[in-house]
Amino acid sequence: MIPWLDDDHPGTPLAPFPPLSAARREPNGLLCAGGGLSPERLLCAYRQGIFPWFSEGNPVLWWSPDPRMVLFPSEFKISRSLRRELKKPGYRVCFDHDFAAVIEACAHTPRRNEGSTWIVGPMQHAYRRLHELGWAHSVEVWEETDAEPRLVGGLYGIAIGAIFFGESMFARKSNASKIALAHLVRHLEAHGFGLIDCQMRTAHLDSLGAREIPRAEFIARLEALAALSVPGGCWKNAGSGDALSW
């Protein structure tokens, strides 16, 4: 049995998470369950290197895998095809203009080798609330059309101090999610961010320059970066415009 957190109640202290050393090796990083998805609970979790991940019908499950997949902005890999895409006109990249549309698209865009989404209704509601509070952010890639601009790719995550916790990305057009990530990396570099948390390893993340580091190293970096002061609140004025040279 994994530890169970008591439900969160407004005005009362949060039940503490177990120590990360208690996380299971199989499945890697499973730490505990329960507690809810309040903004206070989520921010408390991320500051400790913990994140929620569960399926429809299951309780909230909390994870802290070892090793941890991360992307250092300076190590982001740009393929030749992506370089060409970044120079093309016809799209516009924006920040925080339609967070709700991005998280919904991340939840419902079909993915290879994946079944039902883990971005269930309660998760969408919780992260929209974090966005309203200025913690969660989206990057959107809009394709300019003869009618209205069309959302073709994007990503979302949480910024605490100088660390960005990436949650999910989607693409309705080839390379659209990578375009969003490239603009995010540029924005984070410009504002002194030192790390993007990618949580779990995938071949796609490998191809973009992400790599695994021991959880202990991740926590040390997290504690240092989260303590730094960087511009917070809405990123709507951080739009990167049309093309991006690299």
pLDDT at 241 (0 to 100):
54
Rounded distance between C-alpha atoms, residue 144 and residue 66, angstroms: 42
pLDDT at 232 (0 to 100):
67
The dihedral formed by the CA atoms of 219, 221, 223 and 229, expressed in degrees to the nearest 10? -150
Query: Whole-model pTM?
Result: 0.93
Are the beta carbons of 33 and 60 closer than 8 angstroms? Answer: yes
pLDDT at 220 (0 to 100):
98
Helix axes 121-132, 99-108, angle to 10 degrees: 160
- Residues 6 or more apart from 57 whose CB is under 8 A from it? none
Rounded distance between C-alpha atoms, residue 218 and residue 210, angstroms: 13
pLDDT at 111 (0 to 100):
59
Rounded distance between C-alpha atoms, residue 28 and residue 67, angstroms: 9
Are the beta carbons of 195 and 228 closer than 8 angstroms? Answer: no
Are the beta carbons of 65 and 200 closer than 8 angstroms? Answer: yes
- Residues 6 or more apart from 196 whose CB is under 8 A from it? 70, 71, 72, 73, 157, 163, 164, 165, 166, 184, 185, 188, 210
Total number of residues shown for the chain: 246
Burial of 199 (0-12, 13-18, 19+ CB in 10 A): buried
pLDDT at 229 (0 to 100):
86
pLDDT at 236 (0 to 100):
79
pLDDT in tens, the chain (246 residues): 899 999 999 889 999 999 999 999 999 999 999 999 999 999 999 999 999 999 998 999 999 999 999 999 999 999 888 998 898 888 999 999 999 999 999 999 875 555 557 899 999 999 999 999 999 999 999 998 778 899 999 999 999 999 999 999 999 999 999 999 999 999 999 999 999 999 999 999 999 999 999 999 999 999 999 999 876 677 877 755 544 554
Dump the DSSP string for 125-148.
Answer: HHHHHHHHTTSEEEEEEEE--SSS
pLDDT at 240 (0 to 100):
54
pLDDT at 29 (0 to 100):
98
